[in-house]
Structure 1
Amino acid sequence: MRISRPTRRWIALAAALSAAGTLATIGAGLLVGAIAAAVIEGPAPGAPVPRTLLAALVAVGAARGLIAWARRRLGRRAAAAAVVDLRARALARLAESDPRTVDRARWRTLLLDGIEGLGPYLTGFLPALAATAIASPAALGVLWWLDPASAAIAAVTLPLIPLFMWLVGTLTQGRTERRLRDVGVLADQMLDLVAGLPTLRAHRRTATPAAEIRRLSGAHRESTMAVLRVAFLSGFVLEFLATLSVALVAVGIGFRLLDGSITLAAGLTVLVIVPEAYQPVREVGARFHDAQDGLTATGEVLALLDGAAGAGVAGAAARDRHPGAAPPARGIRVEFHRLTARGRDGARPRDLCGVAEPGAVTVLAGPNGSGKSTALLALLGIAVDGVTGVARAVAAEGELRGAALWARTSYLPQRPALTPALVGDASGLSLGQRQRAAVAAELARGRELLLLDEPTAHLDQANAARMLTRLRAEADRGATVLIASHDPLVLAAADHVVEVGR
């Protein structure tokens, strides 16, 4: 509710619709009891005739149908808006996270299949929960007014349903998390297999991954069936408790009708209304399992969004500072001093020292895996875990960090993501075309600091030369151009080369 405006609007609307639905349901129960008593015993003196009551019942039924339609239609819209909002926020936060620590398979599953389960939560579980908070107390109040004994039975048995829901829910949570984890592993393995099919086919090993795929599919099948078994068990428990509770009320009313301690109209009305006291709680239990995938995925997304904003900037600011040279008169100077990033494969880079000046093309050179990309991420404040030393950008007014640095920087990763607003439908573009389009879009911004990670990796020699000519023009106008690359063409065009070692 705190971070998603569509969710806040829908919760308020769902509560209002639940309140209206409760009034319509209680009104229908009172009318049904009065009509049945009038038909069996005859209309009481001064009471409305059954025809008038029947017309009122039709109107109340139409109102209930309209409320149910509005809840379904508006709920689907709210769910779609909330999913899009949360997905966009999560992607924006992941884009600022250290890529060395991001589990791509897990987040791919959560943001694609997992978060789509938020729809059943918002359209089914949440309205049912609102109805429980509104409809059940209202129904108990009407029952108390009509028949205190039946209300007492309902008040005693009603809490049993949430108790068993909680017991079953503790079993469901772990199984749902396991199912999502199995889906993520299976999807990641399938994507790797598809990417490697040309190599497997060239070496005649296309049948080799079959056993592993069967094993992962079996794990996914077992985790899914475990969730379904618990769902069926909980459904049986909820229906049994609700049916037994209504039966207890019905038996008590039957005995009291025999001894005349309750009127037929009151007894029939209680029998019509008492299931409505249990129905919202039963609906919550039924919708609980539908919403588990979405709740689990959304919990992960909210944990990501609730993390300290700008953690990368804070981490960068906490490192040891190197005094460096005086700030440049114009433009932005980049300084690395004993920059070291420790990861699973050791320190990459290790003790990196170098400077990139305005008006020059500087290249971070080194073999693959030496830490060139990590150095750029450390400069931007994205890579902070295990990073020591200094990576900073200095302008005339002093050191730039966080939003101030990003506002004056164009950063191009190895595999840039293109938006339709930039190039239209980018699905048919090759990697080289995407690279060229992304570079053109970034250069059009006219930023003072250009950080490019392997910009010529997917280009032929002619297109690489054209790109380097454009980058040289940017340097001539005063921009600081810093490139991470081991391409001989890039190294030949550089003004300064900084070796990055492991």
Structure 2
Amino acid sequence: MSDPDTGRRAKRTPPVDPRLLRYASASRGFFVAVAAIAVGQTAVIVAFSWLLTSAIVGAVNGMPVADLAPTLGLLALVVGLRAVLLWAREGVAARAAARVEAQLRDNLVTAVGELGPEWLGRHNSAQLAVTAGRGLSALEAYFGRYLPQLVQTIIATPVILLVMWWQDWISGLIVLVTLPLIPIFMVLIGLATRSVQQRQWRTLHHLAARFADTVQGLSTLKVFGRQHRAAASISSVTERYRGETMKVLRVSFLSGFALEFLASISVAIVAVSIGFRLLDGSIALMVGLFVLLLAPEAYLPVRQVGVQFHAAAEGVAATDDVFAVLDAARRRAAEPGVDGPGSRRAPALGTSVVGALGESTGSGSDATLTPDQSTGSGPETTLTPGQSTGSGRRGGVLTLEGVQVRRGDRLLSPVDLVARPGDVVLVEGPSGSGKSSALAALRGAATFEGRATYGHRDLRALAPSDWLAWAGQRPGLVSGRVRDNVALGDDSLEPAVVARALALACADDLDPDLELGVQGAGLSGGQAQRVAVARAFARHLAGRAPVIALDEPSSALDAATETRLWASVRALADAGAAVVLVSHRVSARDIADTVVRLEPAGVPA
């Protein structure tokens, strides 16, 4: 995933990225546990070599079986202990991988939320999905194989080398001289592996993005007869991904062969040296055999680190992408006016945003909305004071003063408006004047200059989800029931609120339990639009959003349905909502308290 905000691949990361300890606290305990197991495994390796040497030398010297029995018993115990430690390491690694994967995925989702819609709009959601899905799943190999082997190498190799030097300094010197050759080749091979792995990972991102875009625009492609060209393009990217994967495998096999060859040559040198000295009697059989058994164990951890690096390369590439997002969120939190992660949610937990930010000013009543249950039509919508639906809460005042949305290298026309509880503020103007961009600024999806506040708090320091209910020109529906699309994952939303929202949005003819396909397939354009409007209404009725922003909510509706919808919007405003309405329909003026007219403009930044 290309991230212009970070330049994350400008330098190589160390074998263990320190950001892993920062962003995944579960990894700290993992390293402690794996280090303790590695110490035990090292002790078992030395003990196994010593006991096996003792048994062999004893047998060569004609020691009775009864005298060898204790040594053989201890040898069997050590073998069993080595298997238990290996099992423990696998179990610890698997559990740590699962915890870290979940932790990083949660942090990634939180970071994307803190970065906001504007940042998300500059990045491909399919690529983020691949990173959060398959990429983080690849951490199992990273934690289960690479990191435990790396810790084992750091602990076992120096200890085994010291034991060999203590027993036979000549063999220790040979290992000390030849051992660095393996890391040198590992670095060279690792550079090549990392390069091809990153190309493979980027190609996978490209494939995911291309496939998602093609599926989303498939109906348009079919209308223009271009679906075959899109399929050919996907096939081309898939073939490129296959080629990159084969390159990764080719480099992995070649590097494995190179490391095995170097280790074998090095052990052979130690064996030849011991063999000659055994012939001239300058070294005892006990010492020579013990050192010879330890020699492969000195090279094995280093060799395995190189092998396991290839298995973990995809996970490493994925963590780079995750850390890039988390770093961007960390930098955003350090910006002036943002106190830290989560600070955009100004009210304390359990405190209503209306109570924390609101002020009892502006028009409107404390009444709540009760649509007629039989028809849900606008004219029959009435206000019944005293009902506790939450929609009657009084919100703060939304104020925009000289707000100019930035689009590339230009600034759009300045927007000035004030929306109080009970107001319907209509924003109108020709195409390209910045109507939708103004709403994008409200929901944090566009940068802007000027002053924008809600309840005397800067919008840049507030989470839009705490005060705004929004319905855009694209319905943004997902597969599932109609009621699930209205609730949008809010399990606490009561069925009665969902039904009321559908009625207000003139979608009461839809069965809330109707199953929809991908992107809301199964509904007409007008029906999908009304469900999206109902989603915004439901959020307001539940008391979670005092301000409602609607972007061309009647563009796909007939005149009669549009009239009913305007009546519902007016009723919601009269019940206490502050409504910002973008529409090119003249009929919208009938319900507006204020009309804000925008004209196209482009001011160089």
TM-score of the alignment, normalized to the shorter chain, above 0.5:
yes
Mean Cα displacement is larger for which, 279-288 or 457-466?
A: 457-466
Q: 1:12 aligns with which of 7, 32, 50?
A: 32
Answer whether contact 1:341 1:388 (CA < 8 A) is retained: yes
Secondary structure of 1:145's match? helix
Aligned pairs (5 A) from 1:71-110: 71-95=89-113, 96-97=115-116, 98=118, 99-110=120-131
Secondary structure of 1:383's match? coil
Q: Name the aligned partner's letter for residue 172 of structure 1.
A: T
Q: 1:125: how far off?
A: 0.7
Q: 1:125 aligns with which of 126, 146, 168?
A: 146
Q: 1:470: how far off?
A: 6.6
Q: 1:217: how far off?
A: 2.3
Mean Cα displacement is larger for which, 356-365 or 67-76?
A: 356-365
Answer whether contact 2:126 2:212 (CA < 8 A) is retained: no
Q: CA 1:160–1:13 in 2, change beyond 3 Å: closer, same or farther?
A: same
Q: CA 1:485–1:306 in 2, change beyond 3 Å: closer, same or farther?
A: farther
Q: Name the aligned partner's letter for residue 399 of structure 1.
A: R
- Between structures 1 and 2, the one with greater helix share: 1
CA distance in 2, matches of 1:313, 1:458: 43
**Number of residue pairs aligned between Structure 1 and Structure 2:** 485
Mean Cα displacement is larger for which, 275-284 or 486-495?
A: 486-495
| Structure 2 unaligned blocks of 5 or more | 1-20, 339-357, 362-394, 479-487, 496-512, 521-527, 601-605
CA distance in 2, matches of 1:360, 1:285: 67
Q: Which residue of 1 aligns with 2:88?
A: 70
Answer whether contact 2:436 2:582 (CA < 8 A) is retained: yes
CA distance in 1, matches of 2:47, 2:514: 56
| Structure 1 unaligned blocks of 5 or more | 318-326
Answer whether contact 1:416 1:435 (CA < 8 A) is retained: no
Q: Which residue of 2 aligns with 1:302?
A: 323
Secondary structure of 2:323's match? helix
Q: 2:265 aligns with which of 241, 244, 247?
A: 244
Q: CA 1:457–1:144 in 2, change beyond 3 Å: closer, same or farther?
A: farther
Q: Does 1:332 align with 2:371?
A: no
CA distance in 1, matches of 2:443, 2:547: 11
Q: 1:353 aligns with which of 410, 413, 416?
A: 416
Q: Does 1:189 align with 2:210?
A: yes
Aligned pairs (5 A) from 1:145-184: 145-184=166-205
Answer whether contact 2:428 2:596 (CA < 8 A) is retained: yes
Mean Cα displacement is larger for which, 236-245 or 330-339?
A: 330-339
Q: Which residue of 2 aligns with 1:399?
A: 457
Q: Which residue of 1 aligns with 2:524?
A: none
Answer whether contact 1:313 1:381 (CA < 8 A) is retained: no
Aligned pairs (5 A) from 1:355-394: 355-365=418-428, 371-379=434-442, 381=444, 383-384=446-447, 387-390=448-451, 392-394=452-454
Aligned pairs (5 A) from 1:10-49: 10-43=30-63, 49=67
Q: 1:282 aligns with which of 299, 303, 325?
A: 303
CA distance in 2, matches of 1:72, 1:94: 32
Query: How many percent of aligned residue pairs carry the same amino acid?
Result: 35
Q: Does 1:419 align with 2:440?
A: no
Q: Name the aligned partner's letter for residue 184 of structure 2.
A: L
Q: Deviations over 1:100-153 (max 9, x none)?
A: 322334323322332322221111111011001111111112212222211111
Q: Name the aligned partner's letter for residue 255 of structure 1.
A: F
Q: Name the aligned partner's letter for residue 457 of structure 2.
A: E
Q: Which residue of 2 aligns with 1:112?
A: 133
Answer whether contact 2:469 2:545 (CA < 8 A) is retained: no
Q: CA 1:235–1:440 in 2, change beyond 3 Å: closer, same or farther?
A: same
Q: Name the aligned partner's letter for residue 27 of structure 1.
A: A
Q: CA 1:368–1:121 in 2, change beyond 3 Å: closer, same or farther?
A: farther
Q: Name the aligned partner's letter for residue 243 of structure 2.
A: E
Secondary structure of 2:402's match? strand
Secondary structure of 1:127's match? helix
Q: Which residue of 2 aligns with 1:232?
A: 253
Q: Which residue of 1 aligns with 2:542?
A: 444
Q: CA 1:376–1:200 in 2, change beyond 3 Å: closer, same or farther?
A: closer
Q: 1:58: how far off?
A: 1.4
Q: Name the aligned partner's letter for residue 75 of structure 2.
A: L
Q: Which residue of 2 aligns with 1:409?
A: 467
Answer whether contact 1:435 1:458 (CA < 8 A) is retained: no
Q: 1:60: how far off?
A: 1.3
Q: Which residue of 1 aligns with 2:71?
A: 53
Answer whether contact 2:38 2:156 (CA < 8 A) is retained: yes
Q: 1:186: how far off?
A: 1.6
Q: Name the aligned partner's letter for residue 393 of structure 1.
A: T
Q: Deviations over 1:384-441 (max 9, x none)?
A: 3xx3233x1242xx334556565841344643783374689x9954644576456525
